[in-house]
Amino acid sequence: MTPYLPIELKNTELWLLADKAIYWPEQQALLIADIHFGKAAAYRRLGQPVPHGTTQANLQRLDALLARYSCRQLIFLGDFLHAPESQTPAILAQLHAWRATHPQLEVTLIRGNHDRRAGDPPATLDMAVVPEPLLLGPFALQHEPDPHPTHHVLAGHLHPAYRLIGRGRQSLRLPCFCIGAQVSLLPAFGSFTGMMELDADPGRRLYVVGDNNVWRVA
């Protein structure tokens, strides 16, 4: 098992984590894209039969990563909340309870398209909420995967995935990291999100995640 895979990008070591996040050792930073808290709740408000418990599951995965890696800061690359309907008393109570267990952690949200519609998280969550890009070291931390004139972009938004083809008609679609020349993509961290398939391309490296493992496929 390889729960993380170190890579070098812009003369900086980043760890691609099997739980669909990036750890940046030099900054002691955990980068999370597209967690979409409250997506299931928003769908249930529309009468859709979707699973319960996704918020708690995502928070438990976050806690596991924060316990495993030495983190001074947690940076969300957009889409923290899914929709206005996501700000329910139950979800906000879970988020406040989680935040109370990490009072010293610096938490930053870079607004994504869903955040602009859902509204900023309550100030009582003690999060810095900023527009994109957030320039840190050689990287422009963004939600939208648009090139930056001077910095390499780390972004989310697209929920990248890659399809592995086996014998016969067997295939398996897995979330992936896409490391490009100017823009790199993180997979969606949220456990209730869709995915967009990417093809192998000479200009990018693809790393899939699955079964607590990370490996390069293209």
**pLDDT tens-digit readout, 125-157:** 999 999 999 999 999 999 999 999 999 999 999
What number does CATH give the domain 4-156?
3.60.21
61/192: higher pLDDT: 61
Mean pLDDT of 104-121: 94
- pTM of the full predicted structure? 0.92
C-alpha–C-alpha distance, residues 136 and 152, integer Å: 10
Q: In this structure, what is the dihedral angle of CA atoms 170, 176, 63, 77, given to the nearest 10 degrees?
A: -140
Domain locations in the chain as residue ranges: 4-156
Q: What is the pLDDT of residue 45?
A: 55
In terms of Cα–Cα distance, which of 196, 101, 107, 94 is closest to 145? 196
* Average pLDDT of the segment spanning 62-90: 92
Ramachandran quadrant class, 179 (left: phi over 0; alpha: psi -120 to 50; beta: rest): beta
- Kindly report the backbone phi and psi dihedral angles of residue 96, in degrees, each rounded to the nearest multiple of 5, phi listed first: -65, -40
The candidate with the shortest Cα–Cα distance to 118, out of 146, 149, 95, is 95
Q: pLDDT above 90 covers what percent of the chain?
A: 72
Residue 53: per-residue pLDDT: 55
Longest dimension (CA), the chain: 54
